[in-house]
Amino acid sequence: MLEVTLDKSKLQELLKLLGTDRRLVAPVVDKLGTVFSEITDPSLVCLEAVNTNLSPKETVFPQWETLYTFEGNQIDKAELQIEETVLFGVRPCDARAFELLDRVFTWDGVNDPYYLKRREKTLVVALACNAPGEACFCTSVGGSPASESGADVLGFDLGDCLLLRALTDRGKTLLNSVSSLTTAATEEEKKAAQNAASEAEKLLKPVAVPEDLAALKESFDAEMWKELGLKCLGCGVCAYACPTCHCFDITDEVRKGAGRRVRSWDTCAFSLFTLHGSGHNPRTTQDERYRQRVLHKFLYCRENFGEAFCVGCGRCVASCPAGLDLRAVLERLASTAKVT
Amino acid sequence: MDPITNPYVPYPVRIDEVTIENDERDLKTFKLVFLDPEHEKAFAYTPGQFAELSVLGKGESPIGIASSPTEEGYLLFTVKKTGVVTGELHSLAEGEVIGVRGPLGKPYPIDRMKGKNVVLVGGGFAFTTLRALTQYMIADGNRSEFGEITVIYGARSPGELLYKEELKAWEARDDLKTIITVDKGDGAWKGREGFVPTVLEEVAPSSKDALMAVCGPPIMIKFTLPVVEKLGFAPSDTILSLEMRMKCGIGKCGRCNIGSKYVCKDGPVFTLEELNALPAEF
């Protein structure tokens, strides 16, 4: 396993080198908080924030992207061009989300060329968490502050330096390409990284996640959804902030005969999401829509992919304007086989 | 952007013929011809599947394929004028080019139907994929693979029946039992009157060695299923086709998700047994 150490005084240089001939995307502080953004000035990169406001999923699954352009009824033949990208400073929960999204976008052998091309062109450099955020619960949903899933390189913040561990072949190639800035990690540093990870794990408050799928299925008719639906505003911020939510819309835009077919994020929280042309809507109330989001993640995805589509980043908890706390909902669902 | 390798890119097709199906003039059947023979070859389908009809600049609509693969050289889609895309489709003339993305979804279980009696019950304009299935079963070389075939089809009024000329041809065949009914006839109507569930009960096809497929508006389904059960058809032998709002059609966009199923890829054809196991969100 290739493990190297980078003195933090050389971080700017490293970022500059990584951004040569490639797009570099990393967290920066902007007016509204910390967000992943394309970096032109490495001095703006902020690695202190635990969770950015929006997850980095937009690097591989943009909030808005052109599927193809057309003129009249002719579709432009040009193939999709995606730049090589390094996504730097991704928290392990968000990196793990990529691994979950991979399953949807390759499900049943039907490959989504847009997602897969971006994923293929994106190197993920994750950064383990030393101190989890207030709403974090990764360990309760199968993750950890130093989870290796979905990343090519995993970094550990050891105070004065970063320990960088290659997890994949292309991660190894990446680290080799910056070897002029790094030194081989010492046993002491490796131990320190391990300690930091296990200390962080101790700080996480466990959340009881319902394990009994049959009981979850029964919760479909529970009264609690009505109460939760009354609170839910249907604003969709939870889905937009979520690193694993992946529902989308496809719409056409035209101007002067030329246009594009676009896909953009969408969510089951919106009332129009399931509205039929006939006027029929299978989910007319917000409690049905809120329930759909929770059960899709914790029941249907487990039935289909063997894992819940939640990495415990806590963004939905932190961003909900109505104060709905997914952790409390999960606790309620788990506390009794028959939820009322 | 190659439609053979990119599942979001439609195949270009030419509108070869447009048939107005009903008195209300809001149901048209589009006969579509592929511009590229390679695309036609790639579009290998089975009755019960659907496709996204694409009008660039307007969008896409998921529509059941009304033709059978035994009808070579073209595809048929019967479209009701409802929204932006279908409204635009209805304004298009023969010769114009649109897109077809598919085939999508799981078809009728034709292999299970082989060697069995088959009862098809349709209502209104949901009859389209049952038309495809009927054409498939009665096509040369296929008919002997199936037992007795009974088709019960109803519409609000005589003018609202789809495929009127074809229905006459079916009625004239002795290897196909065709029962056409309308809720209410007009002066010229000499055929049967009555709602589909009532007619099904009167015809009373045997459930022995038989499969039943039902397609129709929700209200018809609601009153037909108890009759189907009374006739002795097991939920696993009762087949339905669902409608759901869709976008991608390939199990990614999440819109048609019900329980752990996606109507676009696990359906639209389901057995009643499968539907009974799903939450009632359709």
- Does ipTM come in above 0.90? yes
Residue B274 has pLDDT above 70, yes or no: yes
- Which residue spans of chain B are classified as CATH 3.40.50.80? 110-241
- Partner-chain residue, chosen from A108, A112, A259, that has the shortest CB–CB distance to B265: A108
**Residue A106: φ, ψ to 5°:** -125, 10
Residue B36 has pLDDT above 60, yes or no: yes
**Interchain pair B86, A277: CB under 8 A:** yes
Q: What is the CATH number of domain B11-103?
A: 2.40.30.10
Q: Which residues of chain A make contact with B87, given a CB cutoff of 8 A?
A: none
CB A190 within 8 A of CB A162: no
**Interchain pair B247, A250: CB under 8 A:** yes
Residue B93's closest CA among B163, B34, B20? B20
CB B115 within 8 A of CB B143: no
Q: What is the CATH number of domain B110-241?
A: 3.40.50.80
| pLDDT recorded at residue A32 | 79
- Which residue spans of chain B are classified as CATH 2.40.30.10? 11-103
| pLDDT recorded at residue B162 | 97
Return the sign of the alpha-carbon dihedral for residues A283, A242, A131, A163: positive
CA angle B123, B204, B243 (to 5 degrees): 25
| pLDDT recorded at residue A339 | 53
Interfacial B residues in 168-197 facing A (CB < 8 Å): none
* Residue in chain A lying closest to B1 (CA): A77
CB A20 within 8 A of CB A85: no
Round the CA-based radius of gyration of chain B to a whole number and report it: 18
Contact residues for A195 (Cβ-Cβ < 8 A; gap 6+): none
What global pTM score does this model have? Answer: 0.94
Round the CA-based radius of gyration of chain A to a whole number and report it: 21
Domain ranges of chain A: 3-61+71-203, 213-335
Whether B95 and chain A come into contact, CB under 8 Å, resolves to no
| pLDDT recorded at residue A217 | 92
Q: Give the tokens for residue B263.
A: 């109507």
- The residue-averaged pLDDT of B100-115 equals 98
CB A293 within 8 A of CB A241: no
Alpha carbon dihedral B264, B268, B271, B273, in 10-degree steps, equals 50
| pLDDT recorded at residue B110 | 98
- Partner-chain residue, chosen from A70, A78, A250, that has the shortest CB–CB distance to B56: A70
- The residue-averaged pLDDT of B239-263 equals 95
| pLDDT recorded at residue B61 | 97
| pLDDT recorded at residue B133 | 98
Distance (Å, rounded) from C-alpha A26 to C-alpha B110?
A: 53
Residue B264's closest CA among B84, B74, B85, B48? B48
- The residue-averaged pLDDT of B190-214 equals 97
| pLDDT recorded at residue A31 | 85
**Interchain pair B245, A300: CB under 8 A:** no
Which of A68, A75, A294, A298 best tests the B interface by mutation, with the highest count of B CBs <10 A?
A75
H or E stretch at B55:
strand B50-55
Q: What is the mean pLDDT of each run of 10 residues along chain A (340 residues)?
A: 95 95 94 90 90 94 96 89 96 98 97 97 97 94 96 96 97 96 96 93 93 92 95 96 97 91 97 91 95 97 96 97 97 74
pLDDT digits (tens, 9 = 90+) for B119-155: 999 999 999 999 999 999 999 999 999 999 999 999 9
